[in-house]
């Protein structure tokens, strides 16, 4: 009896010690949302803050002191085909686009043609929106929030990975970078990606593969995950977190800040895979496809499952709803946002042109607009299945061996498929 009591006491002491260690780690991470900017092991350069107040909100601009001289954007040409494709009419977005295109034409011949010097975050007042969109009161509340922030393009980054594409003080030649859209509460999905298709390393022929996850902040209605995200960032060094609410309507903002981050931090990436955290990607098949491309294809790649001849959906109950008073016209051909590939050398032009295309509430449509504006045509690849495959084939490993991507898969399905695909017992 005494032995059992002693054993029980030892177990209690050991459990208490584990809890004490975990609590001390959390204390070191901090107690407030500021903690995300105060992690020297995550952001290796000091940050300088400037606060600007408007009548409706406070915008905090964070500039890394190492970037005192901004990257010089390349000269930009916006294709005539794109300018003619988007009709001129009374819809709010169409009017904003053509107003920006007129600004571009006026600024094109100026010596200092850097849009970052002219575009400043200024939240749209509801009075302005009512003046320009007569039925804006009928828009869903989240849609109205999106409209108010359409001009805010430079949220501060709270967790950065400035060394992700660096080798010492030099930018490294990264062959493929996985850029995965995620959300704060999706840890299980991110971990499944890390352990399977998104695992970093050197692959066949010496090609380098890196991975980053793109996140905003939790909603004010959700419990704060800041401490857990800080620990995750310290452990894996692959989280990029900006100060905006992570929501469906902010995915376009996430696209824009990702373009900026790549231009500043990964200038020598050959290819980028942009996708969701609930896809299953076949890394080996992707690398094989990229290595098979001709030189001309390598410099102008934009490929995935291409949606042709799409038009806005007008049902307010649908996730992809677009009011007629907001946008009127067709969508350009675009790659489904579940996952697509493009050439890294296009990033400076994509970032530059994104200043002249108003944010659109559907991110993959917006990305398609950016590519069309710089004169890049999407190329269909049958290995991308962003709308999934036949139900009877979803557990068939041999079917997946020839695919580059399928969508959607939960973490357990991803782990099982990856394990079976790399089993020495597999015969296809």
Can you give the chain as a three-state secondary structure string?
CHHHHHHHHHHHHHHHHHHHHHHHHHHHHCCCHHHHHCCCCCCCCCEEEEEEECCCCEEEEEEEHHHCCCCCCCCCCCCHHHHHHCCCCCCHHHHHHHHHHHHHHHHCCCCCCCHHHCCCCCCCCHHHHHHHCCCHHHCCHHHHHHHHCCCCCCCCEEECCCCCCEECCEECCEEEEEEEECCCCCHHHHHHHHHCCCCCEECHHHCEEEEEEEEEECCCCCCCCHHHHHHHHHHHCCEEEEEEECCHHHHHHHHHHHHHHHHHHCCCEEEEEEEECCEEECHHHHHHHHHCCCHHHHCCCEEEEEECCCCCECCCCCCCECCCCCCCCCCCCEEEEEEEEEEHHHHHHHHHHCCCCCCCCCHHHHHHHHHHHCCCCCEECCCEECCCCCHHHCCCHHHHHCCCEEECCCHHHHHHHHHHHCCCCCCC
Q: Please give the Cα distance from 46 to 25 (Å, whole number).
A: 22
Please name the residues in contact with 188: beta carbons below 8 A apart, sequence gap of 6 or more.
411
- Looking at residue 248, its pLDDT comes to 95
End-to-end CA gap in the chain: 59
Residue 144 C-beta-side C-alpha neighbours within 13 Å: 15
408-426 pLDDT, tens digit each: 999 999 999 999 999 999 9
Contact 353, 62 (CB under 8 A): no
- Looking at residue 69, its pLDDT comes to 52
The domain ranges of the chain are 33-383
What backbone torsions phi and psi does residue 258 show, to the nearest 5 degrees? -65, -40
- Looking at residue 200, its pLDDT comes to 97
Q: Please give the Cα distance from 284 to 310 (Å, whole number).
A: 31
Closest of 198, 219, 176, 184 to residue 409, by C-alpha:
198
What backbone torsions phi and psi does residue 64 show, to the nearest 5 degrees? -70, 130
pTM metric for this prediction:
0.84
**Number of Cβ atoms within 10 Å of the Cβ of 294:** 7
Residue 102 C-beta-side C-alpha neighbours within 13 Å: 7
Low-confidence residues in the chain, pLDDT < 70: 1-71, 108-114, 118
What backbone torsions phi and psi does residue 377 show, to the nearest 5 degrees? -95, 130
Instruction: For the chain, give the number of residues.
Output: 428
Q: What angle do CA 7, 10, 12 make, to 5 degrees?
A: 115
Instruction: Pull the structure tokens for residue 6.
Output: 């002693």
């Amino acid at each position: 009896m005494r032995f059992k009591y002693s054993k029980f006491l030892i177990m209690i002491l050991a459990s208490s010690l584990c809890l004490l260690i975990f609590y001390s780690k959390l204390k070191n991470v901090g107690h407030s949302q500021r903690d995300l900017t105060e992690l020297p092991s995550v952001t290796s350069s000091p940050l300088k803050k400037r606060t600007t107040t408007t009548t409706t909100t406070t915008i905090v601009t964070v500039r890394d002191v190492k970037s005192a001289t901004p990257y010089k954007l390349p000269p930009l040409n916006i294709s005539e085909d794109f300018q003619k494709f988007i009709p001129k009419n009374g819809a709010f977005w169409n009017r904003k686009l053509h107003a920006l295109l007129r600004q571009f034409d006026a600024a094109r011949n100026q010596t200092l043609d850097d849009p970052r010097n002219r575009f400043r975050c200024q939240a749209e007042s509801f009075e302005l929106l009512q003046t320009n969109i007569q039925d804006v009161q009928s828009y869903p509340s989240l849609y109205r929030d999106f409209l108010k922030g359409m001009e805010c393009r430079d949220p501060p980054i709270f967790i950065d990975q400035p060394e992700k594409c660096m080798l010492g003080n030099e930018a490294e030649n990264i062959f493929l970078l996985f850029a995965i859209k995620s959300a704060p509460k999706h840890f299980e999905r991110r971990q499944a990606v890390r352990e399977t298709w998104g695992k970093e390393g050197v692959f066949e022929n010496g090609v380098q593969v890196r991975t980053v996850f793109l996140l905003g902040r939790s909603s004010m209605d959700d419990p704060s995950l800041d401490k857990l995200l800080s620990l995750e960032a310290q452990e894996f060094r692959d989280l990029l977190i900006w100060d905006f609410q992570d929501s469906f309507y902010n995915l376009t903002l996430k696209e824009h800040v990702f373009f900026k981050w790549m231009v500043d931090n990964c200038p020598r990436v050959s290819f980028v895979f942009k996708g969701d955290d609930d896809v299953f990607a076949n890394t080996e098949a992707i690398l094989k496809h990229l290595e098979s491309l001709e030189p001309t294809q390598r410099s102008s790649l934009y490929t995935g499952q291409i949606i042709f001849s799409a038009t806005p959906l007008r049902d307010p109950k649908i996730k992809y709803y677009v009011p007629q008073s907001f946008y009127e016209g067709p969508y350009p051909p675009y790659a489904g946002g579940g996952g697509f590939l493009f050439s890294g050398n296009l990033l400076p032009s994509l970032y530059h042109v994104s200043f002249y295309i108003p944010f659109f509430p559907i991110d993959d449509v917006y990305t398609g607009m950016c590519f069309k504006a710089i004169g890049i045509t999407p190329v269909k690849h049958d290995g991308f299945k962003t709308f999934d495959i036949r139900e009877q084939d979803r557990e068939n490993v041999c079917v997946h061996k020839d695919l580059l991507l399928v969508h959607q898969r939960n973490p357990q399905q991803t782990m099982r498929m990856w394990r079976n695909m790399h089993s020495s017992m597999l015969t296809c």
